Each structure stands twice: as C-alpha cells, then as structure tokens.
Chains A and B, each alone.
Chain A
Amino acid sequence: MSSSLRRFLITRLLLTIPMVLILVTLIFFIMRVLPGDPIRSQLGPRVSEEQADALRERLGLNRPLYVQYFDFLWDMVTLDFGTALTQGERPIRDELGERLPATIELTIPAIAITALIGILSGAFAAKNRKKPIDYGIRLMSIAIYSIPIFFMGLLFQIIFAVRIPILPLSGRMDTLLLTQFDSKTNFYVLDSILTRNWPALRSTITHLIMPSITLGLALTGVFVRLTRVNMIEMLQSDFITAGRARGIPERRLVYKHALRNTFIPILTLLGLQFAILLAGAVLTETTFSWPGVGRYLVDRIELRDYTAVQATIAVFALFVALISLLMDIIYALIDPRIRY
C-alpha cells in the first residue's frame, strides 16, 4: 500500500465522521421538536403530572438538552445505545440485535437478484443499443423504477398469496413453527440449517421469496440504467476497438472484456444504491409485516421513542458511511489506474 493511498484512506475515514455526526445531530434535534412525547405515548393521556414527571426523571428526559445530547453521543461512541423509552424499555442493542438480522436476511437475496438481472440486461441492452430490444429493456427498467415498491409487494400478495395461494402472505415463518423455534443468531435460515430443522427452513424460505423478489426487482430499474450507460461508454473505448480489429468474437468482447471493466464504476454506484435499498426495506417490511429494522424505525417514530429512533438512525448512517467507504477502498485497490 503506497503512502498516498494510505493518506487518501485516512482523509476518507476522517470525512466519514463529520458526515455521520451531522445526520445524528440532525435526527437528535428533529426528534426533540416532534409534537407529542414518549411519556404520553407510553402512559396514555390520563396520567397525573406527578406520575409523568417521575417517569421522565427515571428515563432521564428532564435533564438539560445538551446533557442529553452529549450523553447520546457518548453512547454512540461506546456502541451502547442505551435503552428504549417505550414498549418495555429494553436495551436498544438487544432490540436491534433481533431486527437487524431480519433485514439483512431480506436484503442479501434482494441484492443478488438485482445484480444478476440488472447487470445482465443492462449489458445486453448496451450491446444492442438503439435496437428494439434496447428500447424494450429500457422501457421495462423505467417502468419497474416507477412502480411504488409497496404496490409491487401488494400485487404479488394478491396474485401469489390470495388468487393462487402458493406462498404465505406475510411474516418470517409460520406462527406454529415459530413458537417452538429457538433462534440463536436471529438469522432464521442459518439457525434452521444449524439445528437441522428442515420444516422451519422450508417455511423460512417460502416466506422469504416474495419480499426479497419485491425488493430486488424494485432496485433493478436503477441498476439496468447504470450498467447500460457505463457499458455504452466502455464499448466505445479504444481497447474494444482494438480487440474488434484483432478479430475477438463480439460476444467475448462484450461480456468478458467490457463487462469486467464496467464492474468498477458499478461497484461505486452500488455504494450509493445502499441508501435506496434501506428506504426500500422500510416499505417492503411494512408491506410484508417483516420484523426488521425499517419497520422498527417507523413504529418507534410513531411512538416518539427518542432514544430508539436516534440509535437506529445512527446505525443506518454508520452503515451507509461504512459501505461507501468500503466501496472507495475496493475501488482504489482493484483499479490500478487510480492513484491517490
């Protein structure tokens, strides 16, 4: 690793910190000016002033705002996150620990679907630029992009769970199986394989099909366009012309030489897609009653649970920043032309 690369990485890392800090601060103060407060949403409207004050004191909400703010920042640094204000006041780390695996289990197949469909059809469209198939693929990608993700999910539910009932409507696993299911990692697929619980695995996978296809397809629209634009540029570059002159078959030229070089810009763009993926996860989880982080966040915003929302947003921001950092590093490492 050259010293200039090291310097780039350090600057990049240092820039990540203020980015996360800005978002976290923003959310902290947004939550404080929200109308309504967690005391009321927890105790209900018919509560005496003393009771409310007592609870406020116990939860530490009566301290000055700046104390709460620095306290919260310290919690973030130590990755402690504190406890939630509502719904049993459990440690937020435990709550996120249960829900984050659910979201990850949903997003991994979704990303795989997106990458596979997106890159292949994008490359195919670029190869056949300005032919009917190109316009067809582009129209499809714009159309997919334009469908609200929850509408796509609801349509799938109507078709595959109501009309032709082959898939379960919502949830992560059959309730019956879930009662006897002992989950250690909260990754249900992993757990059921480790405990050789085949009916549970089957149930988990059938529950996973619709949400992950919905999320994956919804992201495909953007991905096709990115791949196509980059491929078109790549196919116009000199080394492709040179390859063509040497008589390399067109197929090989497109899918091997050009596509391999297109991966680099696509990879960086994938980092930005991650934000879209998280937003998509919120809507998908709501549609399919999937007990993930997105649904958790929305629920807690409704309950005005300051600490839970702050912590979740901070985790999101950290995730986004880390992924984009990771992409930059990979970018710098795999492309020999890039020197910092």
Chain B
Amino acid sequence: MESEKINKEITPMPEEVPEWLLDLDKVGFVRRLFLARKWYGGDWWFVAISAVLLVFFIFVGIFPQWFAPYDPREEVGPSLLAPGEAPASYLLITPIESGDIRFIDIADRTNNIGFIIGSAASQAMREVTDELNENAPEGVRYQPRQQRYETLEEGLQSLADGEIDGFIASPEELGETLDDFPTLQDAGTLREEGERGFIFGTNQIGQDIFSRIIWGTRIALIVGLSSALVSFLVGVPLGLISGFVGGSFDRVLTLLMDSLYSFPGLILAISIAAVLGAGIGNIIVSIAVLYVPTYFRIVRGQTLAVKEELYVEAARSIGTKWTTILRKYIFPNVIPSVVIIFSVNVGDAILTEAGLSFLGFGLPPDTPDWGIDLARGQDYVRRAWWLITYPGLMVTMVTLSFSMLGESLSEILNPRLTER
C-alpha cells in the first residue's frame, strides 16, 4: 500500500494523459517492482540476479548451437587435452629422395604410413585424412594404410628401407633419433599451423568439454522443468481435492504421500528409473514421482485452512459448484507457495538428475549430460581435473539460480517472517 502512495507522488500527471497511464495500477506494477528493492533489499537483488541468470541459461538451453563450437558427440581433438593447451603437433617424416612432398601426396589408398602403437598420432592422422576427404573432389578418397610399430627406431628403419611411404611422430617422440637416419627428412608438420586449443579441454575420447556442457544445459533444463511440471500437475489437484473432500479418501492419500515423502527420494528414483530403463522421458517420470508429495502436502494444508473461510462458506451457500469453488476461491490462495516450491523443485530435479546419471541410472550413455560427464570423469580424477570441474560447476550454477529465486521469493512472500 505504501508503495502505491509513493507511486502517485512521484508520477507527475502530464497535461495530455495517454490512455494507458490512466490505468494507474498497470503503471504501478512495473514501478512497484523496481521500487520494491527499497523494502526487500538483498532479497530483491537475489531475485533479480537469479532471474537474469535463469534467462541466460534458458537462452543457452534453447539455442545451444549458437554457443557450442563443436558437435558434443564428435571426437574433435586428442583425448584428455588440458584447457587452453594446444594439441601436440605431428611431424611427417619422408625419405629425402622423394623430395618436397606433403601428406596429401602420400595419403592415397596404395600408400603405407607408419606410427608408434598407442600414440595419439593415429588420431591426428585420422583427423587430417577426414579433413582431406571433406574437401576432396568427387571420386577421390584418401585412406592410407596404417602400419603400427613397437618403437620409433623400428618404424624409421622400415621407412629408410622403403617399406612404407611416410612416418608420423610428435617432436617429443622423435627427439634426436632422426639424426641417426641420414636418408630421412622432416617434411613439415602434419596439421596446419594455428591449431586452436579447447577452452575447457577435451575428455578421454576427445570430445570438446565446452560444447558438451553447453548442450547439457538443454538436457538439464528439459528434465528439470518437465519433471517439476509433471509433479505440479499431479500434486496440486490431488492436494486441492484431498484437502477439500476430506474423509477417508483424504486419510488414505495423506498416508500414501507421507510414506513417499519420508523415504529417501534418490533411492526411490533409482528404483523407478531402473524399471523404466534409460531415456529422457523415463527420467522425467521417475524424478516427478519424488516431488508430488511436496506439492500435495503444502496445497492440502492450505486448502484445509482456506476452506473454513467465510467467503468459501458464502460461495457454497449460494450453490456454487465445488469445482468452481476450488478453482476460483481456493486455488488462488495456494499460488504463492506453489510458485516457490516450483522454483526450488526445478533446481532439486536437476540435482537429482545429475545424481541418477552419476550412478548410471540416467540417460543413454552418450548423451551430452552433466551427470554422465561427471561419472566418466571420476575415473580420471588423478589425471584430468577439468573433466569434473566444468560440468559440476554448471550443475551448481543452474541449481543455484533456481534455488536462489525460490528462497528469496519465499523470504519476501512468507507471512510468518514479516516483522511486527
């Protein structure tokens, strides 16, 4: 009320009043929203910041292709490359007598190219070959035969003997060994110069982590929002009806909901997810089941309180249908608390989804999902911190935004906390 008074004071009435301004309530709402920061202080800022963050995350979730530089499922670089580190360059070694040649000249199907077994050179070679094939004219296909060698010396010796046409090795692998083979030369790097690194590094199969967490936003938001929506759509009507009808129906339903509520949600979700199998729809259902009791309890409690109010009594006495009473007189009273639960619930659902995927009960294995990335990264905890840190931070930030919104809204709207 106070805000309205101030509104009127600070809104000067111009000579020619536009029609929309006459409706002071409409003008007042937006202004009140901004003026409210004087009353709510830090909570107002919490709401504002989390709202901005959420809008950003939702935008990223809708258009991940605008942010992600690579396909999240494709192997785009060497495995376990640290953030910002450029991929190792590889040198092509050829006999001196073959003159000045490039990889493209010996990448034909009839050629043999050697490398050391287990080195990342095969991956580098495959990438370069793929790139050549993409730009190749119709009918031309580059696919040199691969020869694997135990040691560098073995490989270089057979190159000098003319058994293979080229050898690929990184400068680190090569060292000074090339000096022992006077007939061989360094024909230059395999890849073009200026190869960029990956800002968040790559995972163990060479996928770009940054692209994966961007696409993961979409999955997390879909799962979080839809499961919260499903619980909302089931829990709120059940709570309304149960509280309104009362009797044994109410007692049985309350008992059922209480048993679900008191049980560790994650374990229930694991069991349901195990039954339904992997898949995004199944995950949504198994998480939605967990939060139905939360809505049910709150809505039922408030319905019980509101249905004794005089205006509900009055509506009933003039013969209003019970569905109308529920919809018009009782439901509006539960909206504020339901909004708060919804917001916290979405954050919770995202956490639960990550937990399910972490335990291996979530989505199909190659989905770009934060929980799956975390589970995979656990095996590399000693070697590659970046596999875990970035997806984990994303889960935290998105959950944080939703919970912060819910928490601060409840601080603002909770009547029990208003100062006397």
Binding site for B on A (CB under 8 A): 15, 18-20, 22-23, 27, 30-31, 33-35, 130, 132, 134-135, 138-139, 142-143, 145-151, 154-155, 157-158, 162, 169, 225, 229, 232-233, 236, 272, 275-276, 278-279, 282-283, 286-287, 297-298, 301-302, 309, 313, 316-317, 320-321, 324
Contact B262 A130 (CB under 8 A): no
| Residues of A close to B377: CB separation below 8 A | 154
A333 to B93, CA, bound (A): 85
**B414 — nearest CB in chain A belongs to which residue?**
A229
Interface residues on B, range: 35 or more
Contact B41 A130 (CB under 8 A): yes
Contact A278 B264 (CB under 8 A): yes
| Residues of B close to A15: CB separation below 8 A | 255
| Residues of B close to A134: CB separation below 8 A | 42
Within the complex, the shortest CB–CB distance from A231 to chain B, in Å, comes to 11
| Residues of B close to A33: CB separation below 8 A | 275
Residue B347 at the chain A interface, CB threshold 8 Å:
yes
Within the complex, the shortest CB–CB distance from A57 to chain B, in Å, comes to 25
Residue B385 at the chain A interface, CB threshold 8 Å:
yes
Within B260-308, which residues are at the interface with A (CB < 8 Å)?
A: 260, 262-267, 270-272, 274-275, 277
CB contact between A27 and one of B256, B271, B374, B419 (< 8 Å): that residue = B271
Q: Which of B258, B271, B388 has the most CB of A within 10 A?
A: B271
Interface 1/0 per residue, B37-73 and A, CB below 8 Å: 0000110001000000000000000000000000000
Contact A283 B381 (CB under 8 A): no
Contact A275 B374 (CB under 8 A): no
A150 to B358, CA, bound (A): 8
- Chain A binding site: helix, strand, loop or mixed by DSSP? helix
Say whether, besides A22-B256, A130-B42, A286-B358, A148 and B267 are in contact (CB < 8 Å): no
CB contact between A151 and one of B42, B382, B392 (< 8 Å): that residue = B392
Contact B381 A279 (CB under 8 A): no
Ranked 6 nearest A-B pairs via Cβ: A151-B392, A279-B266, A146-B399, A146-B400, A279-B264, A135-B42
Within the complex, the shortest CB–CB distance from A25 to chain B, in Å, comes to 10
Known: A275-B265, A320-B262, A324-B262. 17 other contacts (CB 8 A): A19-B255, A22-B256, A30-B271, A130-B41, A139-B46, A142-B403, A142-B404, A145-B403, A146-B351, A148-B392, A233-B416, A279-B266, A282-B267, A301-B270, A302-B360, A309-B271, A320-B264
CB contact between B407 and one of A142, A279, A309 (< 8 Å): that residue = A142
Contact sample, A vs B, 26 pairs, CB 8 Å cutoff: A18-B259, A19-B258, A20-B259, A22-B255, A22-B259, A30-B272, A31-B271, A34-B274, A34-B275, A135-B46, A143-B396, A146-B400, A150-B374, A154-B377, A154-B378, A154-B392, A162-B382, A169-B381, A279-B355, A283-B266, A286-B358, A297-B270, A301-B274, A301-B361, A313-B267, A324-B262
Within the complex, the shortest CB–CB distance from B354 to chain A, in Å, comes to 5
Q: Which of A15, A143, A154, A282 has the most CB of B within 10 A?
A: A154
Within the complex, the shortest CB–CB distance from A326 to chain B, in Å, comes to 13
**A170 — nearest CB in chain B belongs to which residue?**
B381
Contact A30 B275 (CB under 8 A): yes
A309 to B395, CA, bound (A): 30
Q: Which of A142, A157, A275, A282 has the most CB of B within 10 A?
A: A142
| Residues of A close to B400: CB separation below 8 A | 142-143, 146
Contact B262 A321 (CB under 8 A): yes
**A241 — nearest CB in chain B belongs to which residue?**
B420
Contact B264 A162 (CB under 8 A): no
Contact B267 A283 (CB under 8 A): no
A196 to B389, CA, bound (A): 41
